[in-house]
Each structure stands twice: as structure tokens, then as C-alpha cells.
Amino acid sequence: MAALCKGRYRARIAQDGKDVIAAQRLRALAFLDGAGHDDSILDRDGFDDICTHVLVEEVAGERLVCCFRLLPLSGGADIGRSYSAQFYELSALRAFEGPMVEMGRFCIHPDLHDPDVIRVAWGAMTRYVDENGVEMLFGCSSFKGTDAERYLDAFAMLAERHIAPRRWLPRVKAPSVFRFAQRLRLRSPDARRAMLGMPPLLRTYLLMGGWVSDHAVVDRQLNTLHVFTGLEIAAIPPARKRLLRAVAQ
């Protein structure tokens, strides 16, 4: 995938170990407590060596402002190789026959609040999906912290509108989960509070027709609550596809 430049930002594939370390440092800043005071702290795991890393930088100054990693799979038969399979029972997705890609460790610099960053990131993802014939995009969408009470309206909205189709529904595997679809089935979400509590990445998935697991995993190592999130490329509304491809060009 060639570099994608839009306005103030450029998205590109990591070229070497130095690029990957920069991504790991940004991930630590986003996910690990205390990393903001120590540049030597990195967020890394064994998946980094088998993934493609995408960096979004400011064109002026080349500051890294966003990153994520991609793990391509030939189809659902390989779902057990994914990062998400550590936390979710994904046997239902083994029946998916087309190429898939897992997007993981998506993060934006915590000091930056420019919506163009996520727009450029999704432009890069769209280009990757089109170039590689990807038919399903999936991953874990993270809420900051592990206190589910902060996000009850967001979880209630997910339960009401966005649970995965039964044929793909992830089952519980992790030892600590919040079963929001069960717990909040009678709660009517406040739409404003729900959207304010929804992570930007997840909001974008949902706008494109994405769906989620019926429970959130409590990940104390990264201090997050995360939901499995899937998006079938064929289900993206045509108008939304046109917008994404306009950014990707």
C-alpha cells in the first residue's frame, strides 16, 4: 500500500523496526498507565512480528499521531490465529469463507482531538481492503478503563441495536466479562450519553454497519473494556463506501 496523504496527515506502512518501536511507544502512551512519563515503555506482544503496522503522521514534523496493526487471514478457518481469539470463542466465524483482516491496537495520540486523523486512518484501511480483496474486517474495540458503570448507556445502545448476527456471534471465553446484552436488555439508552461514551473507532464501525459481541471483556492488563467488533465489507452502505473510497484515493 502506497502512502496516503490527506491534508495535514499521511498514512503509511511501517518500513522498519524503528517505525514499529514508534508505534509501540504510542500504544503505551494510549494504553499503559505511567507511559506518558517514560519514553522507554513500550506496548508490545508476539503479534507485532506477524502483523503489518500502519502509521498516521503529521506531514509537517512527522509526529506520529495514530497507529494500528493488521493481521490478514485467508478465511474463517484461520480465526484461531487472531489476537481476538485469545479472549472470545469464535468458532462461529470459522464458517466465513472470504479473506479477513484483524485490525488491532488502534490508538490516537491522547493529546490530539482532530477527527481528520481517524478519517485518514480509515482511508488507509479502505485502500488496504480494496487492494487485498478483504471481505470481513474485525477486531477488539476498547473503552478506556474497566468500570462498566461509566458506559451503561453506550452498552445499552449496543445491546439494543448492534449485536452480531446469530450465525457469527462470539461466545464467552475470557474469565472476566460484562454481559451487557443480558444485564441491560430492559434499559433504554440515552442516545447522547451513549454516543459520548462510545470510542471513536467503534462509532465508525457502527456507522458502516458493524456489529459487536454480546459481552465486553475486562482487560486489566491494558486497563480497558473491549467488545469484539465485526464488519462485513459487502454490508457497508453504498454511500458510505463512496465516502471512504474518496478519502482512500
Question: How far, in Å, are 19, 25, 69, 74 from residue 66 at the CA level?
Answer: 12, 11, 11, 27
Segment 12-18 mean pLDDT: 96
User: What type of residue is 81?
Assistant: R
Residue pair 219/141 in contact by the 8 Å Cβ criterion: no
Q: What is the DSSP letter of 201?
A: H
pLDDT number for residue 2: 83
Q: What is the pLDDT of residues 185-204, one digit of tens each?
A: 999 999 999 999 999 999 99
Instruction: Please say if the pLDDT value at position 6 is more than 90.
Output: no
The region of weakest confidence among 23-37, 47-61, 69-83, 214-228 is 23-37
- Check residue 165 and report its DSSP letter: P
Q: Which domain holds residue 133?
A: 4-248
pLDDT of residue 34: 61
Instruction: Enter the pTM of the model.
Output: 0.94
> For residue 23, what pLDDT is reported?
97
Rounded to an integer, the average pLDDT of 80-89 is 98
Provide the percentage of residues in the chain whose pLDDT is more than 90.
87
Average pLDDT over residues 164-182: 98
Q: What is the pLDDT of residues 54-81, one digit of tens each?
A: 999 999 988 999 999 999 999 999 999 9
Closest to 56 in 3D by CA, of 108, 102, 134: 108
Query: Which pLDDT score, from 0 to 100, does residue 35 have?
Result: 63
The answer to whether 147 and 220 have CB atoms below 8 angstroms apart is no
- Residue 66: what are its φ and ψ, rounded to 5°? -160, 150
Q: What is the pLDDT of residue 37?
A: 64
For residue 170 the three cell numbers come to: 462470539
Question: How much is the pLDDT for 194?
Answer: 97
For residues 237 and 186, what is the distance between their CA atoms, to the nearest angstrom?
Answer: 29
Residue 47 · residue 23 · CB < 8 Å: no
Q: What is the pLDDT of residue 62?
A: 86
Does the pLDDT value for residue 93 go beyond 80?
yes
* 82 Rama class: left (phi>0) / alpha (psi -120 to 50) / beta: beta
Domain count, the chain: 1
pLDDT > 80? residue 227 = yes
The Cα–Cα gap between 249 and 246 comes to 6
Q: Domain of 211: which CATH number?
A: 3.40.630.30
Q: If you average pLDDT over every residue of the chain, what do you get?
A: 94
pLDDT tens profile 122-157: 999 999 999 999 999 999 999 999 999 999 999 999
